[in-house]
Chain A
């Protein structure tokens, strides 16, 4: 076939440009570690890759939320465990006071210890995680200075009696957390439900008052009253235990969910890597091949361009 002068050089140029372009592209893939650099490189894979990235982002978001939730619930569970221990101790003291009904000093000491148990439970009810009160429902912050979710107030009566009671300034709305699409969990119960509805403060204050009243006149009545408090303390213990159990169950639920998310995320990342990640070994081999071909093409160009009858004239 008759090869025009321009044709020969046009073909050489086209091939050199093609090889050069392929070398550049391969080099970019190696340096980025990705199979594609632009959407037009592989549109359908891009779509999948975006989908995987979005899913990973969503899973990571839920994981962070679950971590926050677990931390919060664990703080609650720990505080409630201590409350349970204190109730058990109060019950032991109450039983002891029934048995040592004639010893005024012992009963005074017991009353004092009950007082300290009340203070400790109050302090536990006002526990914080960071700046958030964990038993205040949705009113986690925003208290005026000196104010807390639970407060012990004292009132004097005309007969000289001091009435103590605990009031709750927190919220009765529970905190919720969304750990999956359209799936929410309550982050524990609010202080009204846990402490106020259980009657824990009323019972302990009532027990302390009974012991302080020291009704030696009718010690049988006092025994009877204390027995009633012991029965109530049993109920309160069971109540707190059941809430603590519920909290524990939620912690386990979230931990299982967290593990599932971790595995799911690994799968998504693997799939993403399969689509997006460049096979560096193959690319390195391709690059070498292209460089060799380019080098050969350049050499051939030099050789061929030197071939001409004009040289021999």
Chain B
């Protein structure tokens, strides 16, 4: 027995010998190193090729090893077949000899020769299998196997049979009873059986089976294609119940209504009820329910109906697993390796998106339950519906990338793959990429039981943020194709297009819009620079910083005025103030002061510096000499004769520009251009341009207001209406002396329809890619959502700058997102690093009219129009996390890492082999001692025989001598007589 086990385990040990560098660990080390190299060089094509080559090596290596184990298993099966045939032959011969011996000895004769022959056969049989035998009074041998299975009784014998991977004892009425190493614990058969049970993965799956075989009316055992008509059944209902591997109760029924239904249909219904965690099949006319999950479980089953399949609780017709064997552990290692790499990989993107189509690698007959990893799907609290979503990223012919959220909440666990296809197409339809089955840019279909994503020419797609597990289960965007380590490979698509190997992710840690949120404003049509007719008294300009915060004090304190006098006709008071408007210092320019002397008088030493340029008087705050808390100043001209051109208006906290009723459009623009940070001009084609000064670092946006003195504001009387009419959608307001009216928010360019509820939604993710729920009171994952209608509603007097302020507001800091503008007016959204948010996807959403919030079409909304999602080649998140796989704790491996799990298996193989070797040595030593004792009693001793020979020789010589002497004596006597 031990020889058999030692042979097998030694072969197994050689497959998994990690004492040299050519073992699997060496290849795995290179594989993880290749991923780390890709993480260090995510933009590199050659790093991708390296990952693929080592991936192929891993697949080939694992395949070779598992194939080796399979070959060993097959060889053991052949050996078992030979042993069983020999045992059957010996049993038959012993039974035959029993009959002959009985017949011969009936007459009182002895049948020693036959007995000797029978003893030889029994001795050989006892080598093969452990037996007990005794002689009957008739002189026959009755032989039984361990655990009481009859083998020979008088002239009768029972056979053993090999069927599939099992050995069966064929009992009365051809009933087959499974024999395992528990029933045969020693002998060569026992040894090979024990070895097989250690290296065959099949023994890791429990099953229950009925103890009755079922036959058709013609006496044939049923198969899966047998119809119920063949059993004489045309109607009836089967009711079944039980527990799956995990202890979940299952129940179901199947109705026969015509009789044309087959046994296979019944089996499908059973598998469906078990959520495809079992394989139901017929073998030798008996119904088997076999677990598809390894290891000890809670599997049970019972069925009632028009066909009696027997009792499923009979232990003799079950296989129970106490612990997973070596083969199972190795398979689990291989499966986990594939799953670990793929589960991260599906979330990633390579150097380019997928074009044309991508087919999932796993297929089903109908239901998503049949998909691998179905049990890993995220489900709601009831367990009957899926929960979560994934993102499909679409790149259109212009290069713009739009995220499409495919929401899986509410999809039933009993859904078909076609249902899933429809959910994806609905999401694409919301986003505007799918109009109908014949008019689409991107669509999902089901083909040959697989999910396929298709793209029209010049469209392409990628995936990310699968919080449900659907991408892994359908096999979309996987690195390894296949689940079973005996038969998996690197995805052929990646081999032919290595640039598709994922290294990064699409959900950004920071986002910068492609188009400016606040940019350059150009009139729609050419304007008349000579136009006069605006009924305004003043223009107000507010500047905003990068965070959308309005400057409440002038960022550059100055004052400009025109004059027509040479000396001041009245005192001019200059009040230097702090941020709260408190006067810190007053400078008085006395009446009679010459204007031309002002630059010398106000040289900055008192905190104010005066300059005169092109007959415009300018005062500026000299911060070096002003009081320490000074931030701005105001001027009271009195009746001095100087006329304010530009000043700081404390009421609106704005720069205020005085406009004369006779000012032409050009003159108004020239006045605006005098402001710091603002550039205003009419170009050579008479288009009006308003923009920020390019080379300044203070203002990132501005707002225009007017003091309207007319009666009816229109594009000819109101400056801000004029701008609005020219599609120059700068945030703007109107003051009529009493009320402020919001005219433009600045979001007018974004195609937002205020009859919808418009939202800007941030879907947030943590370090591990898990979604962050901003409202745990609802069952779905809620994003950080901003109601844009709050801004769009003019009555609320808000602008696009309020959008930034809302994002940056103290109450929203917890979501870990900040917003600002860059110098070109582009919107920058960044993770702050505070709290858990590490990446996000920001989308435009709308209310669909039924209270459901859905994603907006790709050309609607703020973010969709700003654009800005890009594929950054330096993003290495996926490559890095895969490189870390060997050291990640995995729950499915009993909270150990892949590395540790594998090293434990090697140790277990070593211990098993060493134990067998030691046991074998011990037994051999015992046998040697016993043989010595036996030899000392019955063996031939050469010295003894030689001594006996000498003794007999001497005795013969002595006898011969006596005879000779006696003859001589007789002769002498005869001679005397004569």
Which chain A residues have a beta carbon within 8 Å of chain B's beta carbons?
A: 1-7, 10-11, 14, 32, 34, 36-44, 46-47, 49-51, 53-54, 57-58, 60-61, 64-65, 68, 131-132, 136-142, 155, 157-159, 163-165, 167-168, 171-178, 181, 192, 196, 199, 201-203, 205-206, 209, 217-218, 220-221, 224, 232, 276, 308-310, 313
A54 lies within 8 A of B874 (CB): no
A39-B909, A40-B13, A199-B697 are contacts. A1–B613 as well, Cβ < 8 Å? no
Asked if B342 lies at the interface with its beta carbon under 8 angstroms from chain A, I say no
Chain B interface size range: 35 or more
**Chain A residues whose CB sits within 8 angstroms of the CB of B941 once the complex forms:** 2-5
A58 lies within 8 A of B874 (CB): no
A7-B936, A43-B911 are contacts. A165–B694 as well, Cβ < 8 Å? yes
B942 lies within 8 A of A141 (CB): no
**Chain B residues whose CB sits within 8 angstroms of the CB of A155 once the complex forms:** 694
By beta carbon, the residue of chain A nearest B924 is A14
By beta carbon, the residue of chain B nearest A50 is B903
A53 lies within 8 A of B694 (CB): no
Cα–Cα distance between A172 and B907 once the two chains are bound (Å): 49
A39-B13, A54-B886, A139-B873 are contacts. A202–B936 as well, Cβ < 8 Å? no
- Among the stretches B120-128, B261-269, B377-385, B943-951, the one at the interface with A is B943-951
Identify the 5 closest CB pairs spanning chains A and B, nearest first: A4-B939, A39-B910, A4-B935, A43-B910, A309-B946
A39-B910, A46-B906, A158-B682 are contacts. A138–B694 as well, Cβ < 8 Å? no
Which chain B residues have a beta carbon within 8 Å of chain A's beta carbons?
A: 9-10, 13-14, 16-20, 25, 29, 32-33, 36-37, 39-41, 43, 351, 504, 508-512, 599, 604, 609, 611-613, 620, 681-684, 694-697, 822-824, 828, 830, 870-876, 880, 883-884, 886-887, 899-900, 902-904, 906-911, 913-914, 917, 928, 931-932, 935-944, 946-947, 949-950
Shortest CB–CB separation between residue A303 and chain B, in angstroms? Answer: 16
B928 lies within 8 A of A47 (CB): no
Shortest CB–CB separation between residue B102 and chain A, in angstroms? Answer: 37
B822 lies within 8 A of A196 (CB): yes
Cα–Cα distance between A209 and B604 once the two chains are bound (Å): 24
**Chain A residues whose CB sits within 8 angstroms of the CB of B884 once the complex forms:** 178, 181
A50-B18, A54-B903 are contacts. A157–B681 as well, Cβ < 8 Å? yes
Most chain B CB atoms below 10 A, which of A173, A203, A224, A313: A173
A159-B681, A175-B874 are contacts. A36–B19 as well, Cβ < 8 Å? yes
B611 lies within 8 A of A218 (CB): yes
Partner of A158, one of B41, B683, B911, B943: B683
A3-B941, A7-B936, A173-B510 are contacts. A39–B946 as well, Cβ < 8 Å? no
Cα–Cα distance between A232 and B822 once the two chains are bound (Å): 18
Shortest CB–CB separation between residue A22 and chain B, in angstroms? Answer: 13
By beta carbon, the residue of chain A nearest B697 is A199
Further pairs besides A39-B13, A158-B684: 16, Cβ < 8 Å: A2-B937, A3-B941, A7-B936, A39-B910, A40-B909, A44-B907, A46-B19, A46-B906, A50-B902, A50-B906, A139-B870, A139-B873, A164-B695, A167-B824, A173-B510, A221-B613
B509 lies within 8 A of A39 (CB): no
Most chain B CB atoms below 10 A, which of A65, A168, A172, A313: A172
Shortest CB–CB separation between residue A106 and chain B, in angstroms? Answer: 23
Partner of A47, one of B33, B875, B906: B906
Partner of B43, one of A6, A10, A140, A159: A140
**Chain B residues whose CB sits within 8 angstroms of the CB of A6 once the complex forms:** 935, 939-940
B18 lies within 8 A of A165 (CB): no
Cα–Cα distance between A58 and B936 once the two chains are bound (Å): 62
Shortest CB–CB separation between residue B218 and chain A, in angstroms? Answer: 55
A40-B913, A176-B876, A308-B942 are contacts. A61–B695 as well, Cβ < 8 Å? no
By beta carbon, the residue of chain A nearest B351 is A142
Would you list 29 pairs from A and B whose C-beta atoms are within 8 A, ordered by A residue? A3-B936, A4-B936, A5-B942, A6-B935, A14-B928, A36-B19, A38-B17, A46-B19, A46-B907, A51-B903, A54-B886, A57-B32, A61-B883, A64-B33, A139-B870, A139-B873, A140-B874, A155-B694, A172-B828, A174-B510, A175-B876, A176-B876, A192-B822, A201-B695, A203-B695, A206-B695, A209-B695, A276-B19, A309-B947
**Chain B residues whose CB sits within 8 angstroms of the CB of A39 once the complex forms:** 13, 16-19, 906-907, 909-910, 913
Give the number of A-B contacts (CB < 8 Å).
Answer: 231
A37 lies within 8 A of B949 (CB): no
A47 lies within 8 A of B19 (CB): no
A163 lies within 8 A of B942 (CB): no
Shortest CB–CB separation between residue A153 and chain B, in angstroms? Answer: 10
B873 lies within 8 A of A202 (CB): no
Cα–Cα distance between A209 and B41 once the two chains are bound (Å): 41
B906 lies within 8 A of A172 (CB): no
**Chain B residues whose CB sits within 8 angstroms of the CB of A158 once the complex forms:** 681-684
A47-B906, A61-B32, A157-B681 are contacts. A54–B936 as well, Cβ < 8 Å? no
Shortest CB–CB separation between residue A5 and chain B, in angstroms? Answer: 5
**Chain B residues whose CB sits within 8 angstroms of the CB of A68 once the complex forms:** 40-41
Cα–Cα distance between A206 and B696 once the two chains are bound (Å): 8
Shortest CB–CB separation between residue A271 and chain B, in angstroms? Answer: 15
Cα–Cα distance between A168 and B509 once the two chains are bound (Å): 18
**Chain B residues whose CB sits within 8 angstroms of the CB of A14 once the complex forms:** 928
**Chain A residues whose CB sits within 8 angstroms of the CB of B504 once the complex forms:** 138
Cα–Cα distance between A38 and B20 once the two chains are bound (Å): 9
By beta carbon, the residue of chain A nearest B16 is A39
By beta carbon, the residue of chain A nearest B877 is A176
A47 lies within 8 A of B942 (CB): no
Partner of A37, one of B19, B828, B900: B19
A58 lies within 8 A of B887 (CB): yes
A217 lies within 8 A of B613 (CB): yes
**Chain A residues whose CB sits within 8 angstroms of the CB of B697 once the complex forms:** 199, 202-203, 232
**Chain A residues whose CB sits within 8 angstroms of the CB of B928 once the complex forms:** 10, 14
**Chain B residues whose CB sits within 8 angstroms of the CB of A142 once the complex forms:** 43, 351, 871, 873
B906 lies within 8 A of A64 (CB): no
Cα–Cα distance between A38 and B906 once the two chains are bound (Å): 10
By beta carbon, the residue of chain A nearest B946 is A309
By beta carbon, the residue of chain A nearest B935 is A4
By beta carbon, the residue of chain A nearest B21 is A53
A138 lies within 8 A of B874 (CB): yes
**Chain B residues whose CB sits within 8 angstroms of the CB of A41 once the complex forms:** 19, 910, 914
B694 lies within 8 A of A34 (CB): no
Shortest CB–CB separation between residue B878 and chain A, in angstroms? Answer: 12
B830 lies within 8 A of A172 (CB): yes
Cα–Cα distance between A209 and B903 once the two chains are bound (Å): 69
B944 lies within 8 A of A2 (CB): yes
**Chain B residues whose CB sits within 8 angstroms of the CB of A10 once the complex forms:** 928, 931
Partner of A54, one of B20, B25, B938, B950: B25
By beta carbon, the residue of chain A nearest B928 is A14
Partner of B510, one of A1, A131, A172, A218: A172
**Chain A residues whose CB sits within 8 angstroms of the CB of B871 once the complex forms:** 142
B613 lies within 8 A of A218 (CB): yes
Shortest CB–CB separation between residue A208 and chain B, in angstroms? Answer: 9
**Chain A residues whose CB sits within 8 angstroms of the CB of B872 once the complex forms:** 137-139, 171, 173
Partner of A46, one of B18, B874, B880: B18
**Chain A residues whose CB sits within 8 angstroms of the CB of B37 once the complex forms:** 64
Most chain B CB atoms below 10 A, which of A136, A224, A309: A309
Cα–Cα distance between A11 and B925 once the two chains are bound (Å): 11
Partner of B611, one of A7, A201, A209, A221: A221
A165 lies within 8 A of B870 (CB): no
By beta carbon, the residue of chain B nearest A55 is B899
By beta carbon, the residue of chain A nearest B512 is A172
By beta carbon, the residue of chain A nearest B906 is A39
**Chain B residues whose CB sits within 8 angstroms of the CB of A141 once the complex forms:** 43, 873-874
A158-B681, A165-B695, A181-B887 are contacts. A53–B17 as well, Cβ < 8 Å? no
By beta carbon, the residue of chain A nearest B684 is A158
Cα–Cα distance between A32 and B17 once the two chains are bound (Å): 14
Cα–Cα distance between A32 and B19 once the two chains are bound (Å): 10
Cα–Cα distance between A42 and B942 once the two chains are bound (Å): 44
Partner of A5, one of B13, B681, B931, B939: B939
